[in-house]
Structure 1
Amino acid sequence: MSPTPAFPALHRRGFLGLAAGASLAALTGCAPATSSTGAAGEPRSGGRLRAAFAGGGARETLDPHLSNLFVEVARSKAVYDKLADYGDDTEPVPRLAERWEPSADLTRWRVVLRQARFHDGKPVRAQDVLASYARILDPQQAYRAKAALALIDLPNSRAVDDRTVEFALKRPYAEFPNALAAFSAYIIPESTQDFSKPVGSGPFRFVSHTPGRTTLLARNPDHWERPAHLDELEFVLANEESARVNALLGGQVEYAHDLSPVTARSHPGMTVVRSPNSGMQAFAMKVDRPPFDNRDLREAMFLLTDRQQLVDSTLAGAGQVGNDLFGKGFRHYAEDIPQRVRDLDRARWLVRKAGAEGVSVGLRTSEAATGFVEAATVFAEQARAAGLDVKVEVGDKSTFWADSLKSGSLSSFRSGAMPIESHISGRLLSTSTTNTTKWARPEFDALYDQAVSTADPAARAEVYRRMQRVLHDEGGYLVWGQVDWIVGTAARVGGVRPAPANTLDWARFDGVWLG
């Protein structure tokens, strides 16, 4: 191994905790949507909270590195810890990592662990971290965090001591904490093979699991951060939204995950918690093929879109308009780019200039996500007003994502919260494996390489702004909406935070209590 370079002081923002949750605006026609903290009074200990989620039946897993369904992610978050997780603005915040610091050239990162223990009493060690990452990077497996951790040069990484890991990277990477917070990058005890009775270091211990029905967890009194308020946490599976709502209203559960705006508005008896900015709703144009290889036509698509109508009609107002960029409100988002507004006259002119007037364009969509088909139908009408014949094609929801990645020229698209850097690296580089728009520009790739190898945060942020200006002018994502995530709770539930989906405080139960 080469000599260890000097490690400068870590940028202090990496250690900031989460701010207290802000109050939420009311849903149209519904009782005020707020964190349920106020309804349940002051925090108190005890009781069992039953949380209803959609399940996956035989496909479900207790293996945290395979977590994919919302219920699997929520269970993994309760039982395990990651080195870091995303704050409300997707800034990585330390979890099992107490701190981290890079070498001067950004090719080595030293991570110091907290004094934490697994549920069996054994300490969380650097060797457990390296073993967990080695498992995720196994070339024979398809673990969710593999792409995020792929830049780690694992053979040249090492455990300095039991609480210090030194990661060697394959290239300079200023955003390495994003990888520590990657989706499902949980730390498990070294040599773990069996997940039938999972052992983690999280705020809840495993008690029992009935596949396709329930999972029962109990408070971990020795959690490094704080003991949970709840004595027990039970995950109850209910695939249909109506079943989750009826169970909540009937007192069989106290928390119902993933509700539609219409449902939330129709049942004023529940406490509604809205998590603003939890997802991006878009249409993806493939820029490598007709007709959207024509920049004028892409601009026409941006300008013919009535974003407010789409938000009002397909999200029932539970969201805000988008600006054709991912990550509104997140770290590095280009707030200085003016909001794009509808200009139907210029859109018509651009359609004619592109020679696309009357051209038939298939818009692929499906019921793979709530509101996809409705939004596609509304958008098709808007496009016809500009002279484009957009035909909605409803496909098989089970194959939609794979089909839309490789086929067609226009499709419905959505994304949950993640750092803007992760969105770019996963979807917008020539080498990206989920590049739905087929955006492939060597000069854009070079800007990304410049950004992630720039140590100065302000200089790095300016490169991200340059990249977003290019995408706003020429890219293939027509981002029309930013979606709120909605859950319902009983009035006696407190501490549910309105954090964006996929961030640290979303579906997090160690700070929740029963009044």
Structure 2
Amino acid sequence: MSIFRNRREFLALAGAAGTAGALALTGCGTGAGSSPAADGKAAPRRGGQFRALFTGGGEQETIDPHAEALAIDMARTKALFDRLVDLDADMAPVPRLAQKWEANADATLWRFTLREALFHDGKKLTPEDVLFSFGRILDPKATNHFAQGLLSVIDLKKSRGVGKNTVEIALKRPSAELPALLGTLGTAIVSARYSDPAEPVGTGAFRLKSFQAGRSFVAERFDDHWDGGAYVDELRILSADADARGNALRGGEAEYGYEMTPAFARTAAADKSVRIVAAKGSTAHAIVMKCDQEPFDNPDVTLAFKLLADREKLVEVVLAGQGVVGNDMFGKGYQYYPEDIPQRKRDVAEARALLKKAGVLNKTISIYTSSVATGFVEAATLFAEQASDAGLRIKVTTGSSETYFKDQLTKGVMGSHRSGAMTIPTYINDRLLTKSAFNASGWRRKDFDAAFAKAQSTTDEGERTRLYGDLQRTVHDEGGLLLWGHPDWLNAVSSRVRGVEEAPPNTLDSARFDKVWLA
């Protein structure tokens, strides 16, 4: 994996356009599309170069918006392309290239009205571009297209353009969630003339200048962007590990660092050159118990393990206090999350009674973890200590970081788990259905699958919310998800940067650089 591990390597590339670390501001005017700054004291000004640092993926990095898999990929494609719909901080769909949408009575046919937008080659956005994009995403030969499974509900043969600015999307089965699905990763709209990922044709706020996988990405402002265009003249997205990101920010060689550690956030509090932008409780950390294997095929055992967790201590120690406690359900604060379910408390006596009844106390149970994600090993170790209070023995086994998420599906009866931000229906679809590809908890129930299908096809929002709430209650009470904490999403910016929002990952305002400017 080719990423910068020290300041010297970073400067060698970041300084390619001139003196390393220099910000060549080209003007102070606000220009068209300007709006008041968040602090109300100044208006945005155009000009300058903006350098954003992400964990790299080496030669695996891509600017193909339908094959994006890494955070650095997603940031680059967000700069170059737009989606029909995106997701706000609550994971609810909001308009982008689609101005509005409506469905028929049974949610099998959706009509999207497109806004006037130009591609980087000067051509106007048309319904044909949308249909071409969906066809490309759903190409059965392109197995690396991220949204292929989610959008498989689309019946492309029956979908069509209507006039110059409307597209009708027909579905194979009812889905009230189509707008939210179109706001997920890998759903960007490309031009019908798009053929080579190395020569992207998008409608994004930036236009590509150069890209080198594992090294750098340079783009320039697209002045004809439908949303007013970016403020900065040039955007550079570079690969760097966590230490290099922090050092570059402090040294003035970068303006943005993605996914910083809690330790960096603590030290940055006293550093006037750097500011932490934290989206509270925006991700999820859990321990999964495989419900299709002993002893977790017994719901009493899964409940006992949930009762053993000292969630406050896990957040305090593993997350350095940078997060909130979890309640064994994904999506706290998001659309469809049942806030009325009481917070689960630690109860060692009740846990011990359940474990004794199930005959588990005298057995050693292994938890499979890895250093692939910050906090995995620490959380597993601390939970093992907490479980010992009930007389339970848990052995911590550490696996390969390179293959952990694949190995976890077949190894061990417990494992470490994390998830970025996504809609609750997407999480259930990906991880809690019988045929879900990433079902790490082995949760396979036909009645649950059927209830989820019913919720997806329910067009009344109030009833749909109730149905999703019932699904979450079932997972809370019986599932194998011990979701102990929701870490804050920690990004860092130079003190000179304005316009960076506190947004969960995978949402519209996360790693969004068309609205940033340099004070």
TM over 0.5: yes
Which stretch shows the higher mean deviation, 285-294 or 225-234?
225-234
Deviation at 1:185, TM superposition (A): 0.6
Name 2:113's counterpart in structure 1. Answer: 112
Matched-pair identity in %: 48
Which string of whole-angstrom CA distances, capped at 9 and with x for unpartnered residues, describes residues 360-393 of structure 1? 1110110111111111110111111112211111
Deviation at 1:72, TM superposition (A): 0.8
Which stretch shows the higher mean deviation, 286-295 or 447-456?
447-456
Measure the CA separation in 2 of the matches of 1:41 and 1:273. Answer: 19
Distance 1:41 1:379, change over 3 A: farther
Query: The residue matched to 1:146 in structure 2 has which SS?
Result: coil
Query: The residue matched to 1:85 in structure 2 has which SS?
Result: strand
Which of 195, 198, 204 pairs up with 2:197? 195
Query: Which residues of 2 match residues 229-268 of structure 1 at below 5 A?
Result: 229-238=231-240, 240-267=241-268, 268=270
CA contact (8 A) 1:83 1:97 kept: yes
Which of 142, 154, 157 pairs up with 1:155? 157
CA contact (8 A) 1:37 1:493 kept: no
Measure the CA separation in 1 of the matches of 2:376 and 2:389. Answer: 20
Q: Is 1:431 matched with 2:432?
A: no
- 1:261 is aligned with what amino acid? P
Name 1:67's counterpart in structure 2. Answer: 68
Query: Which residues of 2 match residues 335-414 of structure 1 at below 5 A?
Result: 335-414=339-418
Deviation at 1:40, TM superposition (A): 8.9
Name 2:27's counterpart in structure 1. Answer: none
CA contact (8 A) 1:39 1:491 kept: no
Deviation at 1:174, TM superposition (A): 0.8
CA contact (8 A) 2:232 2:516 kept: yes
Which string of whole-angstrom CA distances, capped at 9 and with x for unpartnered residues, describes residues 395-419 of structure 1? 0011111111233210000111111
Measure the CA separation in 1 of the matches of 2:470 and 2:211. Answer: 49
- 1:109 is aligned with what amino acid? W
Query: Which residues of 2 match residues 216-365 of structure 1 at below 5 A?
Result: 216-238=218-240, 240-267=241-268, 268-269=270-271, 270-365=274-369
Deviation at 1:191, TM superposition (A): 3.9
TM value normalised by structure 2:
0.90
Query: The residue matched to 2:320 in structure 1 has which SS?
Result: coil
Query: The residue matched to 1:64 in structure 2 has which SS?
Result: coil
- 2:324 is aligned with what amino acid? Q
Which stretch shows the higher mean deviation, 306-315 or 434-443?
434-443
CA contact (8 A) 1:39 1:492 kept: no
Aligned residue pairs total 479
TM value normalised by structure 1:
0.91
Measure the CA separation in 2 of the matches of 1:423 and 1:58. Answer: 28
- 1:129 is aligned with what amino acid? V
Deviation at 1:345, TM superposition (A): 0.8
Q: Is 1:422 matched with 2:422?
A: no
* Bigger relative contact order, structure 1 or 2 (CA pairs below 8 A, ≥6 apart): 1
Name 2:29's counterpart in structure 1. Answer: none
**5+ residue gaps in structure 2?**
1-36
CA contact (8 A) 1:40 1:494 kept: no
Name 2:466's counterpart in structure 1. Answer: 462
CA contact (8 A) 1:46 1:230 kept: yes
Measure the CA separation in 1 of the matches of 2:444 and 2:431. Answer: 10
Distance 1:505 1:106, change over 3 A: same
Name 2:26's counterpart in structure 1. Answer: none
Query: The residue matched to 2:150 in structure 1 has which SS?
Result: helix
Distance 1:39 1:315, change over 3 A: farther
Measure the CA separation in 2 of the matches of 1:480 and 1:244. Answer: 28
Measure the CA separation in 2 of the matches of 1:277 and 1:154. Answer: 38
Name 1:478's counterpart in structure 2. Answer: 482
CA contact (8 A) 1:351 1:387 kept: no
CA contact (8 A) 1:300 1:350 kept: yes
Name 1:204's counterpart in structure 2. Answer: 206
Distance 1:37 1:234, change over 3 A: farther
Measure the CA separation in 2 of the matches of 1:57 and 1:295. Answer: 43
